[in-house]
Structure 1
Amino acid sequence: MDWFYKFPNMNDGALRDLKKLIDDGFRAFTRAYGDAIEGLFTPLQHFLLAADRFMTQTPWPIILLLILAVAWFASRSLKIVASCLVTLMLIGYFDMWTDTMRTVAMIFVCTVISIAIGLPIGILMARSDRVQRAINPILDVMQTMPSFVYLIPVVMLLGIGRVPGLIAVVIYAIPPMIRLTDLGIRLVDKDVLEAADAFGADRRQKLFKVQLPLALPTIMAGINQTIMMALAMVVIASMIGVQGLGQPVLKAIANQYFTLGVFNGLAIVGIAIMFDRVSQAYGKRLQKHREIIHG
């Protein structure tokens, strides 16, 4: 009756041989192509370093005014701008400005890359049911896989550093961008598309002048979720050398520094709320604009 209580599984020796075969194969691939793959990410490294230098070396009043200007442009709300000002002033007052700016630079680069990759994939999914069926299972795996698992292959290929951490964050954060781009385009009213056809619009004109503008509020929701997921990955990515607010939190966990962990954790929360309010306000403005067009 042992078979009834113990699930039948692969022979221990066969399982060990299979795991060894996969591990040895991945190590051989890393040795053979690791340098070439690392070279492909050199432009990404330059982009990240440039963003980091700009955010950390520019005088803080200029950065503060720049962030407040972006918040005002996106939200047109004095309340949101004032809350951003208070949040940033508190972060600076508690000596977390540099780490916060490094984190903001990382999130900015992650968001740009996620938009650059996720938008075209989302458009392809919206145009083809076959592509959607092929990509959806991949996105399901990406969204349910524990975030620590992303670090293993990235570190084996590229080592420890900012770029491997950036790649891990992008892999973790990009699925909402792809899904909501696909959803937004599919939700565009068919009557509007028929009207565009009646005016003689080709596929490209329909995409850029009709579908994407009308899908923009949904796409903005995808960008919002991508930013939130990237911020959630900041502490985990600090384990492989990503600088910013995650490293003090990691240090606090390792050394039981309560205040260090709480202060930097609250700074991450403050940035997350700031990004969330600004992007949501911009999405609502776009939604109102779309309702006016439909009206």
Structure 2
Amino acid sequence: MNIPKLPLGKAVEWLENWLTTYLGPLFDFIHAVIGGMVNGIETALTILPALVLIIIITALAYWIGKWRMALFALAGLLLIDNLGLWGPSMQSLALVLTASVLAVLIGVPLGVLCAQSTGVQNTVTPILDFMQTMPAFVYLLPAVSFFSLGVVPGVIASIIFAIPPTIRLTNLGIRQVSPELVEAADAFGSTSGQKLFKLQLPIALPTIMAGVNQTIMLSLSMVVISSMIGAQGVGAYVYRAVSQAKTGAGFEAGIAIVIIAILLDRLTQKLVKPKKG
């Protein structure tokens, strides 16, 4: 028995064409906003000489994580500069920071809504499952269709790929707040806003930061993939090295990504942990 193939692909293409036709101005606005954010962050990262910024980041690492983290930051960033990858690394960092900030700004409120409403949670959870299991390359296709080539579709694809952990762990952190504490807050006449901002969010902060940390790492993992659609940065060096079978150049670019990943990972972890010598 031959069952006709469902026209799922054609339906998706029709929806894409419809969105492009009728929501073009909205996509242009989003393109301008995200492009401006990336350019602004990149300018802030590159306006100072590399050595000056390395000293600032090292001081920040010492303030957050003490001398071991500061030593790693100093050595790692000097190595990136020595390899001639400082500019591309700052381009990639601007992409990652933009995607992470937007993912957190969207993800934390959604996580709060999920925590406050089981109906919202039951609706959002399957969508998050879909977003996390869909191959990352698939996100590039609609992103390019709506936003053309360049860094903006890379940011959009990174947000879609990286936002689920922030939503999930924000929801989890708030739901794990002790019911007794919530009841005590109710007994003292706290409003919903006061309970959220003075009780639930502060207690859930370590869990929320774990989600933010995962979001940053997932955004960074999209750096190389985004280079396939025109996003510049150190990911483009990796992609070019793979295309040309240049193992040495690929290893150097990979080391730069690893250093940035470790720094971002450790610094975000240390933000909610006590300092240790």
Quote the residue 1:111 is aligned against.
100
Q: What amino acid does structure 2 have at the position aligned with 1:41?
A: H
Quote the residue 1:10 is aligned against.
3
Q: What amino acid does structure 2 have at the position aligned with 1:60?
A: A
Structure 1 residues 202, 157: closer, same or farther in 2, change over 3 A?
Answer: same
Match of 2:216 among 201, 221, 227: 227
Quote the residue 1:214 is aligned against.
203
Q: What amino acid does structure 2 have at the position aligned with 1:44?
A: I
Paired residues for 1:175-254 under 5 Å: 175-254=164-243
1:281 Cα deviation after fit: 2.1
TM-score, scaled to structure 1: 0.88
CA distance in 2, matches of 1:241, 1:282: 33
Does the CA-based 8 Å contact 1:74-1:279 persist in structure 2?
A: no
Does the CA-based 8 Å contact 2:31-2:147 persist in structure 1?
A: no
Aligned residues between the structures: 276
CA distance in 1, matches of 2:19, 2:262: 42
Identity percentage over the alignment? 43
Match of 1:29 among 13, 19, 43: 19
Structure 1 residues 111, 24: closer, same or farther in 2, change over 3 A?
Answer: closer
Structure 1 residues 259, 193: closer, same or farther in 2, change over 3 A?
Answer: same
1:115 Cα deviation after fit: 1.1
Q: Give per-residue Cα distances to partners, 1:82-132, cap 9 Å, x unaligned.
A: 111111111111111111111111111111111110010000000011110
Does the CA-based 8 Å contact 1:71-1:80 persist in structure 2?
A: yes
Structure 1 residue runs of 5 or longer lacking an equivalent are 1-7, 289-295
1:143 aligns to 2:127 (yes or no): no
- Greater CA radius of gyration, 1 or 2? 1
Q: Give per-residue Cα distances to partners, 1:261-284, cap 9 Å, x unaligned.
A: 111011111111111122222232
Structure 1 residues 58, 237: closer, same or farther in 2, change over 3 A?
Answer: same
Of residues 137-146 and 99-108 in structure 1, the stretch that sits farther from structure 2 once superposed is 99-108
1:97 aligns to 2:86 (yes or no): yes
Of residues 17-26 and 222-231 in structure 1, the stretch that sits farther from structure 2 once superposed is 17-26
CA distance in 2, matches of 1:36, 1:104: 26
Quote the residue 2:249 is aligned against.
260
Structure 1 residues 26, 234: closer, same or farther in 2, change over 3 A?
Answer: same
Which ranges of 4 or more aligned residues in structure 1 deviate by more than 4 Å? Answer: none
TM-score, scaled to structure 2: 0.93
1:66 Cα deviation after fit: 2.7
Structure 2 residue runs of 5 or longer lacking an equivalent are none
Paired residues for 1:149-160 under 5 Å: 149-160=138-149
Aligned residue for 1:232, secondary structure, equals helix
Structure 1 residues 21, 228: closer, same or farther in 2, change over 3 A?
Answer: closer
Match of 2:47 among 30, 41, 57: 57
Aligned residue for 1:285, secondary structure, equals coil
Structure 1 residues 137, 27: closer, same or farther in 2, change over 3 A?
Answer: same
Does the CA-based 8 Å contact 2:150-2:231 persist in structure 1?
A: yes
Match of 1:67 among 57, 81, 84: 57
Q: Give per-residue Cα distances to partners, 1:14-57, cap 9 Å, x unaligned.
A: 55x66445424523432343344222331221111111112123
Q: Give per-residue Cα distances to partners, 1:47-76, cap 9 Å, x unaligned.
A: 11111112123211332133223323432x
Q: What amino acid does structure 2 have at the position aligned with 1:175?
A: P
Quote the residue 2:74 is aligned against.
85
Does the CA-based 8 Å contact 1:227-1:275 persist in structure 2?
A: yes
Aligned residue for 2:233, secondary structure, equals coil
Quote the residue 1:284 is aligned against.
273
